[in-house]
Amino acid sequence: MKKSAHFGITAIFIFHLSCLVALASLSGCSDDLSAPIISNSSDPRVELSETEQVNQDPPSASCSFDIIVGDYLKFNVNEMLVQKSCGSVSINLKHEGNLAAKMMGHNWVLTRTSDVTEIAADGISVGLSNNYVNTEDNRILAWTKIIGGGEETSISFSTEKLMVGDEYTFFCSFPGHSFGMRGPLYVEI
Ligand SMILES: [Cu+2]
């Protein structure tokens, strides 16, 4: 079955045209020639959107948290979910940066959300030697000391004061950090 080159090109053109029409009407086009057009299984945009959906899932509850900070104003967790039934929760804070505590120190402080602004301001007034935490204020539910690059610290605190459904916020009380370094902490049964 011999055909002229011109006829062949025309046939391919018509075939592709029919594939486009088929695609527009959401029906398939099974010939191999159309495979690159309809195949999107390796399309990176598809994989990206699936990954984003996974990241939007709520955090899973835990009784122990490894929290990473560095030479920037950010925790590696945006939100936390604690189970009251844990009884005790552990926070392991690690500073993977290089800057000293007086330059880029971080801590992890937990209060009710409504108390954050006042507690953060009080913390600044007591200074670095007190870890920017006014420990006499019993509205502070848990706190770690300030650490600098290469350091880490751990605390454990009771879940007794945490009420399911109440609004809590964790934040860094180093001056200027609490606005960016904060997130909600949810409590479940
Ligand atoms: Cu900080």
Query: Distance, CA 73 to ligand 1 centroid (Å)?
Result: 6
Mean pLDDT over each residue of the chain, to the nearest integer: 80
- pLDDT at residue 38 greater than cutoff 50: no
Q: Cβ–Cβ contacts within 10 Å for residue 151, how many?
A: 17
Query: Distance, CA 140 to ligand 1 centroid (Å)?
Result: 17
Q: Is the pTM of this model over 0.75?
A: no
Q: What is the Cα–Cα distance from 16 to 34, expressed in whole angstroms?
A: 7
Query: Distance, CA 110 to ligand 1 centroid (Å)?
Result: 13
Q: Is 2.60.40.420 the CATH classification of the domain at 64-188?
A: yes
Where do you find CATH 2.60.40.420 in the chain? 64-188
Query: Distance, CA 19 to ligand 1 centroid (Å)?
Result: 57
Q: What is the Cα–Cα distance from 99 to 131, expressed in whole angstroms?
A: 16
Q: Which tokens hold the place of 83?
A: 């189970």
pLDDT digits (tens, 9 = 90+) for 58-87: 567 789 999 999 999 999 999 999 999 999
